[in-house]
Structure 1
Amino acid sequence: MSNSIPGPDMRGVRPAERSYDTDRVLTLPNVLSFLRLTGVPLFLWMILGPHADGWAVILLMFAGFTDWLDGTLARAWHQTSRLGQMLDPVADRLYIGSTLIALALRDVIPWWLVALLVARDLMMVALVPLLKTRGYTSLPVHLIGKAATFCLLYAFPLVLLGAGDSGVATLARVVGWSFAIWGSALYWWAGLLYVRQTWHLMQTPRIPR
């Protein structure tokens, strides 16, 4: 049986062999990730405080854009770093989680959808102790996972805009829920692929401490 891990950038690569282009903290991709993180409490305040839905939607769109931009710049400028690879998924999860809770509290989305997506994230958290036994702290984000995040980040602003009764609101609601359904399916698909990767990784010998 092969000891390699199926998935992007992981085939035949052990933890000690992986390298990063830079471990610098102050890079533009990392700055964009930090900015995205600082927007999470601001978004919650907009939704739950003054109900500034328009500004909240703009903030979510900005978060989605910077999510794409920081990864693109990191690869193009060779500024991939451990910090950046940690911040990017953390920012994504915080935005998705905060958006879910805020919209559920506003009765814009049902709580079962919150439970569905939170259960997937809890499943991912449960994999961390297993990964650490093989010298990993996380698995690389693959295309399906990024597609799921993209769908969900753009689904909820549209669902929020669709809370009205106008024709534009109806269109936004239909498109938003389409993104939400596809995003939820891809989110779980990506999660199951991570479980499979972890299973294959567990077949490799334990790394001595």
Structure 2
Amino acid sequence: MVDTADRTTRESEEASRAIFTLANVVSFVRLLMVPLYLFLLMNGQNLAATLVFATAAATDFLDGQIARRTHTVSKLGQLLDPAVDRVLMVTGVLGVFLVGRIPLWVIVVVIVRDAYLLIGGACLLSRHRIRIPVVYPGKFATTFLFIGFSGLLLNWPLVPGLGWCDASWLPGFNGAPVSWGIWFIYAGLVLSLGVTAYYSVCAARQLKEALARERLEGHGAA
């Protein structure tokens, strides 16, 4: 098995310092769609806002695929690609919250989870050269959430609630009509929390190995 630190170092060496690669341009364009999406949404342009958000979300895989297939992986791209995904995720849930189509607890869960992954991942990488690889269930969770946000933005068609409770903070489970997108939101949240637990376990295991390795290196230097 390849050592985690060696693998991370090799990946870093293979990444170039190029800025204006095609993959990075795609990431920049996706990032520019964020303020446009918010502007349209706040001005009541539901359909236009949905189209902009859906386009930015649907091209999630493009920048990474282009970089790998054209052998133009860059250090900027390694930071920019996941950062744009996080910005899009946070602004997506913030937008639907501001127009009153999603309860507060959903935005809290999404933002706290993303902050946890972003800060935790940055600390592991900078202090111990540990990078936790993205797993496909995490991509599926992001896709479910993006689809759900798009449905809530469009706000059509509405479907009947299940009527299982009277809690206003559980749209879909109460009796009020709701956008079909809420069910993708719930599926994405459950899957994303499961993936977060998996990342945490992997990080804890690799951190333990890294600390043990650092102690051995320290004793060897002494």
Is residue 2:63 matched to residue 1:70?
yes
Consecutive unaligned residues in structure 2, runs of 5 or more = 161-177
Aligned partner of 1:91 in structure 2 is 84
Aligned partner of 2:135 in structure 1 is 142
Q: 1:21, 1:78 within 8 Å by CA — same for their partners in 2? A: no
> What is the CA-CA distance between 1:21 and the residue it aligns to?
5.0
- Runs of 4+, deviation exceeding 4 Å: 2-5
Q: 1:101, 1:114 within 8 Å by CA — same for their partners in 2? A: yes
Q: 1:4, 1:201 within 8 Å by CA — same for their partners in 2? A: no
Question: What's the RMSD between the two structures over aligned residues?
Answer: 2.4
Amino acid corresponding to residue 159 of structure 2 in structure 1: T
> What is the CA-CA distance between 1:25 and the residue it aligns to?
1.4
Which runs of structure 2 are paired with 1:99-110 in the superposition (5 Å)? 99-110=92-103
Q: Which deviates further from its counterpart, 70-79 or 92-101? A: 70-79
Aligned partner of 2:203 in structure 1 is 198
Aligned partner of 1:120 in structure 2 is 113
Between the aligned partners of 2:14 and 2:143, the Cα distance in structure 1 is: 25
Amino acid corresponding to residue 29 of structure 2 in structure 1: L
> What is the CA-CA distance between 1:28 and the residue it aligns to?
1.1
Alignment coverage as a number of residue pairs: 194
Is residue 2:179 matched to residue 1:173?
yes
Aligned partner of 1:23 in structure 2 is 17
Aligned partner of 1:188 in structure 2 is 193
User: Identity over aligned residues, as a percent?
Assistant: 28
Q: 2:15, 2:75 within 8 Å by CA — same for their partners in 1? A: no
TM-score by length of 1: 0.82
SS of match in other structure, 1:133:
helix
Aligned partner of 1:45 in structure 2 is 39
Q: 2:96, 2:152 within 8 Å by CA — same for their partners in 1? A: no
TM-score by length of 2: 0.77
